[in-house]
Structure 1
């Protein structure tokens, strides 16, 4: 029987026992399939007494040799020359994972006579794949069950286990090394998880429970079915007169040896589908408190039980039993995609306790993120926003996202995409959420409507407005609202109202006119619909990512005398609003798609003669207006967009089709002015390398009117520098048809629902003498 503890192995070595020595066939295959590259690094897992590690060192590798038995490494160290390039480390690859390994990546990873002793093989293999350098090799040298006595079965792999080992790689070769299987694996190739059915069940087996049970680190337990060849959750059919919770606890104990605490068992939903024409009902059960260690108690049914990282489930190399997949989807909606249809009947929501170890690590990361947001100036110490961010478990709204990424203050994880890869839902970056919460200026007891759901931001809002406040979160996508409802229930925020509907219209049906203290929009809006304004109380706040001429700013408005007045702008990016309120940009492709001209607001200008303009010599103006590197200049883009409403567009050059015809603008695109047969766009060049560098704004223009357009654009850049560089405009929202004429020094952008009036607080014309602009290359290509 195989040893399972370090003490058993230490006793084995203390008694002078060893293992099969490295044979000539193995040496030959190692030289053929794993020659050492220049400065090659190798990891020998389960190195035992170090014979393979020493051989790899002699072959040219620097070797990290790990084993969980200290006695093995003592013997290995005694037999290793002092000048050998081998480092020995006590490390349990199953329990400790890969974080404690000396190097981040290896050219070669080996398991000689040790892979059969790895318990959670799928998880370990996934982590080791991540540790392979490009072009690296993973070798498993193992006995097979066909070549060992029955009582030594636990030291060897059978053909099914060898087949599982070879899945998920571009290259998997098997060779014979004097009776040992010599497996060569290259090119990790994780695949999309699929679902599979078992054989046709008998009718009495079609009512049962599937159990999601996790360890303290949040890993989920799955068993590999011996007969059906699928991963599945613990669980099974009901005995006569048995309820689903009793079934779940009994099946867990019978199948795995784990004992569940009844206080930690939750019935989440009933799931109904059919298999082979027979109706099937599965209870989705969550168990959060249990004792014992998983064991194979029914070997005729299950080969082994493994703890899997939740983030690995979407790319399992082997099939997942369909009812198990449906139960997992009940716990973590959206984690698995492409599931067969099922009818889901949710049970009354109950908060689900979090695994202790995962909770502790998440809390540490959450507080670290909050500290970073305070240091960066996004929120104040002691504020209700800080308290909310330290309280709400962001990671529980992001299954499938690593904890470190969930708590990265700059990352906005995607939660839903179209088949074409377009993002339709995400959770905003924490820094931006903190800014928008600050700008909403909410107080305890307030009522707030969130447009664009996801769950996490709604939970933050609830923490801020408190038990006597009201939070309503709205989304047009039922997938998003279902997901938000599940996560809010699981984390104890079931008092938040989740509403499915068009966010542009439903605020008028969810709240009485003038009764809402804030509307927080977490999707990019192309307009300000009347429902948002009407539901706000006087003095109420609207925080919205508003797209103006293709640029998006998170803008904070306050309602005064029935109008919205903006006092804060923050450049940002958001997923677009869906539904009738979405209006796509008008785009024109030039020169076979090399150049794209985009009109986001206003009436598109005739671009039919721009192809000819590109054949004209280029006119340049360099303005003398400079800006240090790393300093944002989004207000210049807003200045240009508001002063060039007619003919204003954005120009981009496809880097894959770029022929050098235009100097490609840095970033995504450039502010552009189009008039008839000519156009001019703003770009910048580096003129100094001091510090972060110094950059100068300039204009390139093409076509018969190039001189005039270059002068106009350059003049506006100079005027911004002289009169508005340090200004934030006052933006007032009027209904589109209202009779509020603009003053002479105000700029107006008209949208279908709203008229945007900008007052930059400057006097005189918004132009400047361009005599000081450098006409470099004027009239020349």
Structure 2
């Protein structure tokens, strides 16, 4: 009788099947152990045809008779003569809320031939005992397993099951009632759970830890195993009663002599594979602070220790130990490809607290920084960006940087340099981050990709997109992604996804085409690769520091019908994009290095005759166009670059080699036009202050070569035309994929490898082709 549903029980009763009738022994034991008190109330669970409920009512109880089979309740109700004090109800004792029972408490609770059919017996009994009045009784009447055939085992309890039923009661008596077990339970006893083990298990698994430890510039420590003939991380098996982190710390010291700071050790994931049919569990542990130098302490295991560039690991000539490879893949996902399968169980990171005094001082500086950004116009008061700036602890992403510098709105601290001192990673200045986030127009629920990781900007973005939005940060440098990941985890932003990969291509692998709402590039880019455009949704925003002829602007684009359109520019500086997208300027050295001519875009002009041109007398033009000393004129640079594309360059004079042949502009490369055997370059000169005391500078031209006069006139006319028609405007910029239908040619189009940039300077009476006439006449 293995019924499991109300429908099966309904069929049982409608087919006329019943259970054994209430026997004299049961009646006697009920009268002896559960006599009804005055106004006593009984609950009969699994009442069936109602025979026990009617007996209890005849004895003096008010009875609630329940069963989860409607046919049973109907049958019981029909068998009642209506004079007894019985409430019949369809009720599932395992699933329905006990608060819906007719009475809140009971003097007697009975299970007659029904307890064996309850699955969650312990839970049900725990809840019912809460509804039992003090010192009153639970009676369970059940067949005993040895007294029924195997076919009816499901209706009976065995000794173990009866023992479980009786546990937790002060009084637990068992009697015989005409061959049935009659169990009396009274006075629930409080208990404290205890934990016990099993017998010694048979060995069937290997457990241990692998440790990723890096030096200050991000190189990872690997040892050459003489026995296995592989490179492997420090680590090994854990001892009895030792957790994975303790095992990692011990093994690191035993194998390398390094002593790690316990506060810097982090368990990131558990990795499980099955070599040779044996389960192997490896803990991926990250250590970021240590003392000492690696030493060979166990030469029979590790012959030597070496620091490796993480970027070199995919091309190691020797094998890498599989568990070590899986641990490395946990730290830098995507670095290694083609790994054997593994089950990975990431450990949810927890935010790391900081000293109270430091946190309080940082909070004050953070609020002051927010006020300054609002005051200077970089962000709006009351905006979501303001709220995120006030909330995210910037200094936690800049360990080692003084708090006042971390919260200086204009500073962009460098976080990594090349051995030669060139910056390769930094955390951008707060004013610029506020501008770029504003331009990205992020909303709650958006999906955003950041190219170039640092952590802080991604945390700000996560605040803006909220818990239902997605932020993915990509960087090609494993040192940078590791650093960003740790700082995001430590500050509670573990839901930001950090990926190791080439920022030019990664968006195509991380997001479906047309699924990204905003892409923010935080490295200087020379071009706009197809993956950036393709991943954006229609109306999506791309904010990128785009380098055009050597000058960099943060430009916010909107995707419209497959192309990008922008009309605002913010002059800025960033570290360059690394990887395949990186390209040096084409540079020509003149006069033994005294003069450098750089071409950043377009086809470099012929400079072979410029040495002779520099020896010729200088032509000079002063335009009458002035500018205040503290006013930027980057739009003039863009104007010149877009109107003289193929011959536009920048000219610099080496201060150590300067012979005075050229006037050396202070602090910036001079915009230069080159045509054949002549060049003209832009410079400024200080003018006397006006009546209000304002300091003014006048734009002028110095030109050299056989056609110096004509080229100087051309450049001067361009400056004058800009001042007259375009000084207070910015061009609309439309970016077309390089392989798309030709959107136009001429001096207002700049062709790059992946994209074609088309500029439209809209001003009354302005003819884009007008300056070309001077150039054509040379």
Matched, 1:748 2:725: no
TM-score (norm: length of structure 2): 0.57
SS at match of 1:450: strand
TM-superposed CA distance for 1:286, in Å, is 2.1
Q: Is the contact between residue 761 and residue 768 of structure 2 (CA under 8 Å) also seen in structure 1? A: no
Larger of the two Rg values belongs to structure: 2
| 1:666 equivalent in structure 2 | 666
Q: Is the contact between residue 629 and residue 697 of structure 2 (CA under 8 Å) also seen in structure 1? A: yes
| 1:513 equivalent in structure 2 | 513
Match of 1:285 among 243, 262, 267: 262
d(CA) in 2 for partners of 1:281, 1:515? 46
Seen in structure 2, the aligned counterparts of structure 1 residues 361 and 616 have a Cα distance that, compared at 3 Å, is same
d(CA) in 1 for partners of 2:420, 2:720? 43
Q: Is the contact between residue 715 and residue 768 of structure 1 (CA under 8 Å) also seen in structure 2? A: no
Seen in structure 2, the aligned counterparts of structure 1 residues 561 and 438 have a Cα distance that, compared at 3 Å, is same
Q: Is the contact between residue 593 and residue 654 of structure 1 (CA under 8 Å) also seen in structure 2? A: yes
TM-superposed CA distance for 1:599, in Å, is 0.2
| 1:725 equivalent in structure 2 | 727
d(CA) in 2 for partners of 1:246, 1:438? 42
Seen in structure 2, the aligned counterparts of structure 1 residues 270 and 532 have a Cα distance that, compared at 3 Å, is farther
Q: Is the contact between residue 504 and residue 531 of structure 2 (CA under 8 Å) also seen in structure 1? A: yes
**Deviation string, structure 1 residues 213-261 (Cα, Å, up to 9, x no partner):** xxxxxxxxxxxxxxxxxxxxxxxxx9985545997xxxxxxxxxxxxxx
TM-superposed CA distance for 1:381, in Å, is 0.8
Q: Is the contact between residue 367 and residue 390 of structure 1 (CA under 8 Å) also seen in structure 2? A: yes
| 2:439 equivalent in structure 1 | 439
d(CA) in 2 for partners of 1:541, 1:395? 28
Q: Is the contact between residue 211 and residue 252 of structure 2 (CA under 8 Å) also seen in structure 1? A: no
**Deviation string, structure 1 residues 560-607 (Cα, Å, up to 9, x no partner):** 111100121000010000011111100011111111100000111111
| 2:423 equivalent in structure 1 | 423
**Deviation string, structure 1 residues 335-360 (Cα, Å, up to 9, x no partner):** x9999x99888783221111111111
Q: Is the contact between residue 734 and residue 756 of structure 1 (CA under 8 Å) also seen in structure 2? A: yes
| 2:292 equivalent in structure 1 | 321
SS at match of 1:286: helix
Q: Is the contact between residue 566 and residue 732 of structure 1 (CA under 8 Å) also seen in structure 2? A: yes
Matched, 1:599 2:599: yes
Q: Is the contact between residue 472 and residue 496 of structure 1 (CA under 8 Å) also seen in structure 2? A: yes
SS at match of 1:717: helix
Q: What runs of 5+ residues in structure 1 fail to find an aligned partner?
A: 1-205, 211-237, 248-266, 289-312, 325-335, 771-781
Seen in structure 2, the aligned counterparts of structure 1 residues 273 and 377 have a Cα distance that, compared at 3 Å, is same
Seen in structure 2, the aligned counterparts of structure 1 residues 271 and 619 have a Cα distance that, compared at 3 Å, is farther
d(CA) in 1 for partners of 2:673, 2:264? 62
| 2:708 equivalent in structure 1 | 706
| 2:585 equivalent in structure 1 | 585
| 1:362 equivalent in structure 2 | 362
Seen in structure 2, the aligned counterparts of structure 1 residues 500 and 622 have a Cα distance that, compared at 3 Å, is same
TM-superposed CA distance for 1:655, in Å, is 1.6
* Pairing of 1:118-517 with structure 2 (within 5 A): 241-243=240-242, 273=252, 278=255, 285-286=262-263, 320-322=291-293, 348=347, 349-517=349-517
d(CA) in 1 for partners of 2:508, 2:744? 29
d(CA) in 2 for partners of 1:749, 1:492? 44
Q: Is the contact between residue 259 and residue 291 of structure 2 (CA under 8 Å) also seen in structure 1? A: no
Seen in structure 2, the aligned counterparts of structure 1 residues 273 and 719 have a Cα distance that, compared at 3 Å, is same
d(CA) in 1 for partners of 2:492, 2:454? 15
d(CA) in 2 for partners of 1:707, 1:542? 43
TM-superposed CA distance for 1:398, in Å, is 0.8
d(CA) in 1 for partners of 2:507, 2:716? 44
Matched, 1:644 2:615: no
d(CA) in 1 for partners of 2:264, 2:753? 52
d(CA) in 1 for partners of 2:211, 2:480? 26
d(CA) in 2 for partners of 1:769, 1:207? 69
d(CA) in 2 for partners of 1:702, 1:271? 71
| 2:761 equivalent in structure 1 | 760
| 2:631 equivalent in structure 1 | 631
Seen in structure 2, the aligned counterparts of structure 1 residues 400 and 434 have a Cα distance that, compared at 3 Å, is same
d(CA) in 2 for partners of 1:666, 1:607? 24
TM-superposed CA distance for 1:281, in Å, is 8.5
Seen in structure 2, the aligned counterparts of structure 1 residues 365 and 322 have a Cα distance that, compared at 3 Å, is farther
| 2:525 equivalent in structure 1 | 525
Q: Is the contact between residue 259 and residue 292 of structure 2 (CA under 8 Å) also seen in structure 1? A: no
Question: What is the number of equivalent residue pairs in this alignment?
Answer: 477
d(CA) in 1 for partners of 2:528, 2:238? 58
Q: Is the contact between residue 680 and residue 701 of structure 2 (CA under 8 Å) also seen in structure 1? A: yes
Q: Is the contact between residue 445 and residue 470 of structure 1 (CA under 8 Å) also seen in structure 2? A: yes
Q: Is the contact between residue 504 and residue 532 of structure 1 (CA under 8 Å) also seen in structure 2? A: yes
SS at match of 2:544: strand
**Deviation string, structure 1 residues 745-767 (Cα, Å, up to 9, x no partner):** x7100001000000000344358
TM-superposed CA distance for 1:489, in Å, is 0.7
Match of 2:718 among 716, 719, 724: 716
TM-score (norm: length of structure 1): 0.57
TM-superposed CA distance for 1:493, in Å, is 0.8
TM-superposed CA distance for 1:742, in Å, is 2.4
**Deviation string, structure 1 residues 409-439 (Cα, Å, up to 9, x no partner):** 0000000111111111001000000000000
| 2:534 equivalent in structure 1 | 534
**Deviation string, structure 1 residues 685-730 (Cα, Å, up to 9, x no partner):** 0112243401110000000010110000000000000110011100
TM-superposed CA distance for 1:450, in Å, is 0.2
Q: Is the contact between residue 557 and residue 565 of structure 1 (CA under 8 Å) also seen in structure 2? A: yes
d(CA) in 2 for partners of 1:246, 1:510? 32
Q: Is the contact between residue 712 and residue 767 of structure 1 (CA under 8 Å) also seen in structure 2? A: no
Seen in structure 2, the aligned counterparts of structure 1 residues 556 and 271 have a Cα distance that, compared at 3 Å, is farther
Q: Is the contact between residue 282 and residue 323 of structure 1 (CA under 8 Å) also seen in structure 2? A: no
Seen in structure 2, the aligned counterparts of structure 1 residues 698 and 285 have a Cα distance that, compared at 3 Å, is same
